[in-house]
């Protein structure tokens, strides 16, 4: 369908963008890459009176890598992550997850900030943010604020973001050398939303036992999930086939996915277990 | 709103409502009807055009966002003198049946081969996964793109 009518603004500074959003009393929407918002408009699921295009805000671009971790500007596109060779070592899990985002043409436009603000429970970036305990920095009319990932996602397409707030950047904690990780996703067709996906990583102590395990699940709840019960199974153990089997069972038991036209709840539960199993096998190779 | 950008090497200025997509602007205002619209919500890939070197879905971009950009449509990838190497390859491999998806296939393949003339079959399939062909002639399309690589390697496409 054709889009509903709206006004359009393309500010050149962040304060100006915040001002435009704040002045619209909740009826304006920030436009980043548009790869989720434009379909929402086409389906008439969103009816903003004003779109505030963030494309001229240079401060929101750029990938910074330091001992403090990886900072992704909100307007960093998937393509920028794919093209950045530093991330092969600075954050291989992020890079692996982004390879699953939609299609070639969409990866040329879609942005980190847009995906997080949209908060689709089956999207990769919110899942990585949750799994990695990332921080989300935002700016609004009452100033700057930082959200922890665990607090930010409130439900399907629902976040803590106020209508006048704009995501500025996402901060992923540092990625130590030698960290074990895996990312597995299942979709019926290449580029479709995940029916289930798992992101895992852990570090190892001097005797090869897992510690600091992080396990995330995507597409099986109303928001990206952390599976603390699965992390408990892994921590303190050498990750072998027996531990992986226990983790698989714990993952399947931990999620409560909905039935829908694509799959039954039972199927999605089993699939979550399988994704965690495969991600852990990937991590141990 | 008035918006200026470059289409197929030519500077254009058009008057559009903010809600008009780049796809509709190209088709209706500029009469470049080679860009096809299938789904109008970013799934089918038929409307793919090249904006500042990158293949994008023109139904998921507003015309006003193209301000200052260099846009190439399927019309910009042909010439009157002869078929291009990519067109020749599509012809040779029978890579089109009804032809509706073909503009999106050509623009996507051109963007890919311009950047990655050494891509393998898996990469071609991965990239073309964003373009639906309802005649399901995918195998010949992939073969056509692979066969066109040589021309891009020589820089003559």
Q: In whole angstroms, give the CA distance from residue A96 to residue A215.
A: 15
Tokens at residue A274, please? 């399988």
- Point out the residue among A55, A79, A106 whose CB comes nearest to the CB of B57: A106
Domain borders along chain B are 2-77, 85-153
Q: What angle do CA A74, B115, B7 make, to 5 degrees?
A: 75
Whether A35 has its CB under 8 Å from any CB of chain B: the answer is: yes
- Identify the pLDDT of residue A251: 98
Q: Per-residue confidence at B156, pLDDT binned at 50, 70, 90? A: low
Dihedral-angle region of residue B87 (phi above 0 means left; psi in -120 to 50 means alpha; beta otherwise): alpha
Angle at B114 between CA B27 and CA B57, to 5 degrees: 35
> Do the strands A143-148 and A28-31 form a parallel or antiparallel pair, or are they unpaired?
unpaired
**Does the domain formed by B85-153 have CATH 1.10.10.10?**
no
Q: Hey, are the CB atoms on B45 and A103 less than 8 Å from each other? A: yes
pLDDT in tens, B100-135: 999 999 999 999 999 999 999 999 999 999 999 999
Say whether pLDDT at A139 is over 70: yes
C-alpha B126: how far from chain center: 16
B52 → chain A, closest CA residue: A108
**Cα angle A220-A222-A225, degrees, rounded to a multiple of 5:** 60
* Residues B51, A96: Cα–Cα separation, whole Å: 26
pLDDT for position B107:
98
Is 80 exceeded by the pLDDT of residue A6? yes
Asked if A104's CB is within 8 angstroms of B55's CB, the reply is: yes
Neighbours of A264 (CB within 10 A): 12
Tell me the chain B residues in contact with residue A102 when contact means C-beta distances shorter than 8 Å.
130
CATH topology of domain B2-77: Ubiquitin-like (UB roll) (3.10.20)
Indicate yes or no: CB of B55 within 8 angstroms of CB of A108: yes
What average pLDDT is seen over chain B? 96
pTM: 0.96
- What's the token pair of residue A111? 């942005």
In chain A, residues with a C-beta closer than 8 Å to the C-beta of B129 are 103-104, 189-191
Separation of alpha carbons A1 and A130, rounded Å: 34
DSSP state of B42: S
Burial of A180 (0-12, 13-18, 19+ CB in 10 A): middle
Residue whose C-alpha is closest to residue B49's, from A8, A32, A108? A108
Banded pLDDT at B136 (limits 50, 70, 90): confident
Of A188 and A127, the structure prediction assigns the larger pLDDT to A127
Paired sense of beta strands B10-15 and A196-204, if any:
unpaired
Burial class (CB in 10 A: 0-12, 13-18, 19+), A192: middle
Domains for chain A: give ranges and CATH numbers. Answer: 7-53 (3.30.43.10), 58-172 (3.30.465.10), 180-284 (3.30.390.50)
HEC profile of chain A: CCCCCCEEECCCCHHHHHHHHHCCCCCEEEECCCCCHHHHHHCCCCCCCEEEECCCCHHHCCEEEECCEEEEECCCEHHHHHHCCCHHHHCHHHHHHHCCCCCHHHHCCCEHHHHHHHCCCCCHHHHHHHHCCCEEEEEECCEEEEEEHHHHEEECCEECCCCCCEEEEEEECCCCCCCEEEEEEECCCCCCCCCEEEEEEEEECCCCCEEEEEEEEECCCCCCEECHHHHHHHCCCCCCHHHHHHHHHHHHHHCCCCCCCCCCHHHHHHHHHHHHHHHHHHHHC
Provide the pLDDT confidence category of residue A193 given band limits of 50, 70 and 90.
confident
**Per-residue pLDDT, B157:** 65
pLDDT given for residue A207 in this prediction? 96
Distance CA B151, CA A189 (A): 31
Hey, are the CB atoms on A43 and B41 less than 8 Å from each other? yes
């Amino acid at each position: 369908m054709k889009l509903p009518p709206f006004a359009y603004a393309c500010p050149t500074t962040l304060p100006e963008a915040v001002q435009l959003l704040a002045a619209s009393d909740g009826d304006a929407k920030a436009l980043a890459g548009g790869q989720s918002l434009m379909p929402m408009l086409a389906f008439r699921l969103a009816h903003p009176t004003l779109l505030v295009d963030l494309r001229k805000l240079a401060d929101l671009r750029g990938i910074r890598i330091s001992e403090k971790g990886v900072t992704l500007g909100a307007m960093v596109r998937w393509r920028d992550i794919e093209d950045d060779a530093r991330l092969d070592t600075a954050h291989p899990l992020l890079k692996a997850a982004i390879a699953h985002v939609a299609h070639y043409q969409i990866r040329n436009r879609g942005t980190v900030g847009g995906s997080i603000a949209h908060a689709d429970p089956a999207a990769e970036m919110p899942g990585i943010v949750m799994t990695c305990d990332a921080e989300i920095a935002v700016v609004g009319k009452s100033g700057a604020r930082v959200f922890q990932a665990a607090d930010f996602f409130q439900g399907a397409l629902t976040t803590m973001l106020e209508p006048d707030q704009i995501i500025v950047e996402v901060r992923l904690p540092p990625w130590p050398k030698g960290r074990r990780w895996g990312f597995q996703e299942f979709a019926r067709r290449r580029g479709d939303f995940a029916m289930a996906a798992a992101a895992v990583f852990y570090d190892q102590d001097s005797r090869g036992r897992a510690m600091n395990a992080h396990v995330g699940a995507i597409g099986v709840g109303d928001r990206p999930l952390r599976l603390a019960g699965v992390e408990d199974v892994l921590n303190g153990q050498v990750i072998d086939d027996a531990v992986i089997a226990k983790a698989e069972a714990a993952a399947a038991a931990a999620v409560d996915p909905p039935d829908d036209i694509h799959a039954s709840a039972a199927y999605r539960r089993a699939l979550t277990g399988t994704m965690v199993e495969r991600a852990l096998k990937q991590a141990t190779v | 709103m008035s918006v200026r950008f470059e289409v197929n090497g030519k500077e254009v200025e058009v008057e559009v409502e903010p809600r008009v997509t780049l796809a509709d602007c190209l088709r209706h205002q500029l009469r470049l009807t080679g860009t096809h619209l299938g789904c109008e919500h970013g799934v089918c890939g038929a409307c793919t055009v090249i904006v500042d070197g990158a293949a994008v879905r023109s139904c998921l971009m507003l015309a006003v966002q193209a301000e200052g950009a260099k846009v190439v449509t399927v019309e910009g990838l042909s010439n009157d003198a002869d078929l291009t190497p990519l067109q020749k390859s599509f012809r040779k491999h029978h890579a089109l049946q009804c032809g509706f998806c073909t503009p999106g296939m050509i623009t996507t393949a051109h963007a890919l081969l311009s950047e990655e003339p050494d891509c393998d079959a898996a990469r071609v399939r991965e990239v073309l996964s964003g373009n639906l062909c309802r005649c399901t002639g995918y195998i010949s399309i992939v073969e056509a793109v692979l066969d066109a690589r040589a021309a891009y390697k020589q820089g003559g496409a």
